[in-house]
């Protein structure tokens, strides 16, 4: 079996535990506003680019400071640099967030979230957006690339459940089908993302019951060195 990625050096990751909050409502189907101001007839999901951009805007603006809501001031180029997606993708993402009622534009390159802080969210550490992993391409060549948006989202789901001392910590039990129901991405994409995360040394999988398929569950753990590093930094 061809290796999807090579283990990363956890010692090279930033020590500071900074993360983005991704509201789970961004992962659900919603009805968008049309150009005429009416609601779209069928519900659609946000693209992963919109989920990533929406998480950044939410994280900057959901916490009030001295009773006032902060503003996320970010150019499309800034989103593109931080998230590793094209400027055109950022433009479409932000436009859909505004059309979907999740974000308001308050000025040139200025945004606030309309979402309630009390809603549930996944946590995505900021280094996950920028770290590069080494993978083997179809030609057998070793190349460097960022984690895909799907890989980041799957890691975020596992990390959020594992880094939770209130529920036992470092254990997430789920099937691909259950992950699909939460994240809104295909089971095939989830499977590929998990295999890459495991090969990179970020996630550990232990078989549960009859193994890994669309209905049977697996136990997932975050690399202990990674969690220890995070807890030591708080």
pLDDT score at 209: 47
At 124, list the tokens.
């995505």
SS3 track for 131-195:
CEEEEECCCCCEEEEECCHHHHHHHHHHHHHHCCHHHCCCCEEECHHHHHHHHCCCHHHHHHHHH
pLDDT score at 189: 96
Q: Which residues does 60 contact at the CB level (< 8 Å), separation at least 6?
A: 70, 71, 72
Contact (CB, 8 A) for 204 and 215: no
Question: Could you tell me which of 120, 103, 121, 185 has the C-alpha nearest to residue 148?
Answer: 185
pTM of the predicted model, to two decimals? 0.88
| Tens-place pLDDT, residues 29-57 | 887 766 665 666 567 899 999 999 999 99
Coil vs helix vs strand at 80: helix
| pLDDT, greater one: 162 or 228 | 162
| Tens-place pLDDT, residues 179-206 | 999 999 999 999 999 999 999 999 999 8
């Amino acid at each position: 079996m061809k290796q999807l990625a090579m283990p990363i050096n956890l010692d090279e990751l930033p020590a500071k535990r900074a993360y983005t909050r991704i509201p789970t409502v961004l992962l659900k189907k919603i009805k968008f506003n049309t150009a005429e101001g009416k609601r779209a007839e069928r519900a659609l999901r946000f693209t992963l680019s919109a989920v990533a951009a929406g998480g950044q805007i939410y994280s900057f603006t959901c916490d009030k400071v001295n009773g006032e809501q902060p503003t996320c001031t970010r150019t499309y180029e800034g989103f593109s640099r931080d998230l590793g997606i094209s400027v055109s993708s950022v433009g479409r993402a932000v436009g859909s967030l505004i059309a979907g009622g999740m974000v308001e534009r308050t000025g040139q390159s200025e945004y606030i979230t309309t979402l309630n802080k009390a809603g549930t969210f996944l946590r995505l550490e900021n280094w996950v957006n920028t770290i590069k992993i080494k993978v083997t391409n179809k030609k057998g060549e070793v190349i460097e690339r960022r984690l895909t948006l799907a890989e980041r989202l799957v890691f975020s789901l596992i990390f959020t459940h594992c880094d939770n001392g209130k529920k036992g910590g470092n254990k997430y039990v789920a099937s691909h089908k259950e992950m699909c129901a939460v994240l809104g991405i295909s089971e095939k994409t989830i499977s590929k993302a998990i295999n890459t995360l495991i090969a990179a040394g970020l996630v550990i999988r232990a078989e549960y019951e009859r193994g890994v398929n669309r209905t049977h569950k697996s136990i997932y753990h975050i690399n202990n060195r990674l969690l220890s590093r995070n807890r030591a930094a708080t």
